[in-house]
Amino acid sequence: MEERIARAVKQSGRSRSDVTLVAVSKKFSAAYIRAAYAAGIRDFGENYVQEFAEKQTALADLGEARFHLIGHLQSNKARLACSLFDVVQTADSIRLIERLQDAAAARGRLLDVLLEIKLSPEQAKAGAAPDDIPQLLGAAQKCTHLRLRGLMTMPPWSEDPEHSRPYFRKLAVLARQYQLRDLSMGMSGDLEVAIEEGATIIRIGTALFGPRPKPQTSTIPAA
């Protein structure tokens, strides 16, 4: 994995320090996270608040670890998310931003936030429309306990990484337009394209941990 990242940043004329690797550990146990931490990884991404809540107590001693929420967040789970994560990458509404501000203020902490922007036409994809960015920025700038870091997006899945390029390029244009530094984009299959287009955060799961474990099926015979 590090070899792929190193080649991509070199070919792009960038430095390795420009890109943060977030290891996507959803559906993997705390033991996998501990092993990755021992190997030097410090940033981890989880999709589900409740799933990570069940792992968190087994990871409390990993003092340098930073945990990112990269899945959709319902506003009624903002308080719990604020207690678990260092970064929320999926803020996509004024209501959610305000809930995160209230939760962070109540805990007396500063929470890093990215705006999730929907650039894909797929109905299943979450995120705010590009035209909503000014309103979201305005709401975030009023928040004393949130630090807005940048933008995040999820392109349509494709076996061809080049299919992701237009979405990554568009996100980079938006980030420059609104003077935002961080771009969270790119996964195991298209990380090189993402880095070429300016990613500062890449979210890597399968290439690090392998295929996600399949849900356990019951072995009890039907009555």
Of the given ranges (107-111, 157-161, 195-199, 212-216), which has the lowest mean pLDDT?
212-216
The predicted structure's pLDDT at residue 123 = 80
Looking at residue 218, what is its pLDDT?
43
Q: HSE, CB side, 13 Å, CA atoms: give it for residue 138.
A: 5
- The predicted-structure confidence for 188-209, as pLDDT tens digits, reads as follows 999 999 999 999 999 999 999 9
For residue 22, give the H/E element and its range.
Answer: strand 20-24
Residue-range domains of the chain with CATH: 2-207 (3.20.20.10)
DSSP three-state, residue 69: strand
Question: Residue 122: which pLDDT band, with cuts at 50, 70 and 90?
Answer: confident
The bridge status of strand 20-24 relative to strand 201-204 is parallel
Average pLDDT in the chain = 94
pLDDT at 41: 97
Using one digit for the tens of pLDDT, what is the confidence trace for 125-179?
899 999 999 999 999 999 999 999 999 999 999 999 999 999 999 999 999 999 9
pTM equals 0.93
